[in-house]
Amino acid sequence: MNISQRYQLSLALLTDMYQLTMAQGYWKKGMAEQEAVFHLYFRSNPFKGGYTVCAGLADALDLLLNFRFTQDDLSHLRSLKGSQGKALFEEGFLAHLRDLRFSCEVDAIPEGTVVFPHEPLLRIKGPILQCQLLETPLLTILNFQTLIATKAARVVEAAQGDAVLEFGMRRAQGPDGAISAARAAFIGGVGATSNMLAGQLFNIPVKGTHAHSWVMSFDQEQEAFSAYADVFPHDSVFLVDTYHTLEGIRKAIEVARKMRENGSELKGIRLDSGDLAYLSIEGRHLLDEAGFPNVSILASNDLDEHLIQSLKLQGARIDTWGIGTKLVTAYDQPALGGVYKLAALRQADGEWEYKLKLSEQLIKISTPGILQVRRFYKGSSIVGDMLYSEPLGINALATMVHPNDPTQQKSFPRECTHEDLLVPIFREGKPVYTSPDLLEIQKRTKQQLSLLHETYRRFLNPHVYKVGLEEQLHDKKMALIIDLRKSAQRNEA
């Protein structure tokens, strides 16, 4: 079920007010249909990591497919007043919005692809008024899901093949945060979610145990376990730390023996507090000694990739990891920081005029052109990504320049294979791409990460993957920067 179906209302107003004021400005000045190119990208990998996993394209595609202003939307806009008490939006502009139908071209990098700073996750080309209105909704969808998919991939990496479950709904940033996070976490590699609605919407496997309240509602802990086993004889996982963890494990073992006598087996126990390394090691010993080597140990309690890695190093005997708050809220970096920048405008003579945003910070200077990302492969590894502008093409030597340091250059030998990452999504406002199902996207994430050398995947001081500007594009960008700075200096004089 897509985002428009989930909300059952128009999402045309899922935007910032300044997008609509600019849109009216374009309309008023006769610029509404001028063709423009915008790119959506981010400037640094989240979590101080070496890579990012893009996600959210299916929801973005659905939003674009259903993009139109309803009478309710227009009535709301009509009710807004400016500072002088008059209507903020003119009737002619509202009529334009009423008749507007999405007509842009969109190219995007498929979900589950490993991406890096400065690479456009999405390129949109079309009437500038339409492109402008779509900035905020595209950012809110792609920013969040890309962030969570990346966090999930890191957690799965730390788990080293153990099962990972997403348990974060109760700590998520509201209902949509919980639903979107469950989807993105699955793309990143988790095996299941506790979120029943996300399971229904996206066909994600759902998993869960019971809470401390279940144990506390009975007079004795063992009685609670027995009652749960009666209800779920083949699917019981007991939460054993309500009172005293090791005693709770011993009581779980007693119930497991009775279950076995009745022809069923205990699936697992869950640890949700305390010294997880010590308790899992002792718990494993108790379970094995009692003849239950196949009872799994699940751990939760504010885990993330760093705690999992530490517990692994301590020899913890944990088989399944339940990750909640720190996954669905991207606890250590709550925003990706993606941006959406104008890169080209088509002039009256049909030629493209390249545009860039200047800044005192080099990293914030945008890249002009109609960008594509070419990824180069050497054997079974990815070895570098080149941003090039389609009208300029690629020079014969396939040389790229570091985006922030022109002294660093790299050429790709002829034996390298390559692919262009941005693929057609919309042409003339019509969809030409069908999103894969979520399991296929998850498989793509795993395959993509396998192409990335382990030095890029490590958590501490990862190696920096090489991304650069094709030489001609770099020269074009530098010339534009120089021209704009000279123009600014003349104006100051």
Question: What's the pLDDT band for 6 if we cut at 50, 70, 90?
Answer: low
Adjacency order of strands within the sheet including 430-431: 352-354, 339-346, 35-41, 122-127, 105-108, 423-427, 430-431
SS3 content of the chain, % helix, strand, coil (to 5): 40, 20, 40
Distance (Å, whole) CA 438 – CA 472 = 38
Whether 271 shows a pLDDT value over 80: the answer reads: yes
Distance (Å, whole) CA 256 – CA 267 = 9
pLDDT score recorded for residue 394: 93
Span 338-350, mean pLDDT? Answer: 96
pLDDT digits over 133-155, tens only? 999 999 999 999 999 999 999 99
Distance (Å, whole) CA 147 – CA 188 = 10
pLDDT digits over 472-493, tens only? 999 999 999 999 988 877 776 5
pLDDT digits over 276-292, tens only? 999 999 999 999 999 99
pLDDT digits over 35-59, tens only? 999 999 999 999 999 999 999 999 9
Whether 1 shows a pLDDT value over 70: the answer reads: no
pLDDT digits over 12-35, tens only? 999 999 999 999 999 999 999 999
Task: Place domain 209-298 in its CATH homologous superfamily.
Answer: Aldolase class I (3.20.20.70)
Element (H, E) at 198: helix 196-202
Whether 230 shows a pLDDT value over 80: the answer reads: yes
What pTM does this model have? 0.96
Please, what is the angle between helix 305-313 and helix 276-289, to 10°? 50
pLDDT digits over 385-414, tens only? 999 999 999 988 889 999 888 899 999 988
Whether the Cβ atoms of residue 190 and residue 183 lie closer than 8 Å to each other: no
Task: List, in order, residues 6 or more apart from 456 with CB less than 8 Å away.
Answer: 50, 51, 462, 463, 465
Query: N- to C-terminal Cα distance for the chain?
Result: 58
Tell me the pLDDT of the chain averaged across its residues. Answer: 95
Can you give the residue ranges of every domain in the chain?
A: 1-28+68-101, 209-298
User: Tokens 């996070």 belong to which residue?
Assistant: 181
Whether the Cβ atoms of residue 383 and residue 376 lie closer than 8 Å to each other: yes
pLDDT digits over 189-217, tens only? 999 999 999 999 999 999 999 999 999 99
Report the share of the chain in percent with pLDDT over 70: 98
Whether 361 shows a pLDDT value over 90: the answer reads: no
Whether the Cβ atoms of residue 466 and residue 381 lie closer than 8 Å to each other: no
Whether 329 shows a pLDDT value over 90: the answer reads: yes
DSSP one-letter string for 56-89? -HHHHHHHHHT----HHHHHHHHH-B-TTSSBSS
Calculate the alpha carbon distances from 179 to 13, 185, 196, 305, 364 in Å.
20, 10, 9, 21, 32
Whether the Cβ atoms of residue 280 and residue 263 lie closer than 8 Å to each other: no
pLDDT score recorded for residue 360: 83
Span 49-78, mean pLDDT? Answer: 97
Radius of gyration of the chain measured on its C-alpha atoms: 27
pLDDT score recorded for residue 364: 87
